[in-house]
Chain A
Amino acid sequence: MQDLVNMTTELDLRGEVCPYTFVKTKLKLEEIECGDELIVTFDHAPAVENVPRSLKNEGHKILGIEKRDEHLWIVRIRKA
């Protein structure tokens, strides 16, 4: 039976810098199911551009990037 309900997982990467922002996002994505959503919090500005670009290269979908405040971003990813 295919799981019809897509799950959402959160990952807090405040305090992490590149490339570990991407490395840890990628490791978390490997733990969840295809089609599930991952919501990642960053406070490292370069990650907000770099991580979504690298994830797109691996085929994942970026559902949205939201700036919460001066140094806080939320990136929503759908696992391919």
Chain B
Amino acid sequence: MRQPVLLGLAGALALAVLPLVANPYLLFVGNQLAIFVILAVGLNLLVGYCGQLAFSHAALSGIGAYGTALLKVHLGLPFFLALPCGALLATAVGLAISYPALRLSGLYLSLATLAFAQFTLWVFMNWEAVTFGAGGFRVPAPSYPLIGAGLGTYYLSLALAVLLALAAASLVRSRLGRAMIAVRDGEVAAEALGINLLRTKAMAFGLSAFYAGVAGGLQALMLGYMAPESFDLFHMALMKAMIVVGGLGSIAGSVIGAGAVLFLLEGLRAFKGAQEIAFGSLLIAAVVFAPRGLAGALNRLPRWRESYLRRPARDAAP
């Protein structure tokens, strides 16, 4: 058992020694990979395990990123305080929107969260006194003991990615995780089993927002620069592509999907139009030909077991 975990740790180890041989570009890509993994795992908890199709993930990671960066810029908090504060801010906002949003289900939920995401972007652009508007702003580099800022952020992201992915993998086996899966597979049945629907969904929302917030904060530290475009609908679609290509309802799938999407993104970096076509086609192809994603293919390997990777149930009418 636990083959996925072992492989994941091996991959993380490989990334951990990467800085010894890599140039700054590869280091950046490795760092981005760790951040994408956190984003994808968090989104998969909400969409793949709990079955709630929300469009707010990119916006919430933006809130985490802006929270982290602005606490540093305006209040001068050191980053090891600002990062958790940013993540908690994202969690709080996630929980706050989850209550009105969760009265809605299915399609209406995605609509409401889409509107929320666009609203958040608008705030980033127009609340210039605090967020510096559309032009963005510089984030001062964090300082770490012993090593430089680039390497420090790299190892911090890597450690958090491993930690959060493992936490998610054990969470989905816990009572809450099983409740989330039950909600996904049939709300009425879950409620009949005594599961508190609203609470379970809100927990999933909050957790996923926390992951988004951490990833956003790391992104702010890594890039040293913040701008609203980094959290728009294109990035939302990227995250969706990660979890769909990797496999809905699979932690291993989220990690693989994040890698696959990053590979495509960097390969087509120079061509924005081609990037869009590639991602769009990838999304369509994934849902048409491989609705269970790469993780579905992996599950056919002998001795590869990842529980709870089931076909997401047909959703109830909104």
Answer yes or no: are A and B bound together in one complex.
Answer: no
Q: Using CB atoms and an 8 Å cutoff, list the residues of chain B in contact with chain A.
A: none
Q: Using CB atoms and an 8 Å cutoff, list the residues of chain A in contact with chain B.
A: none
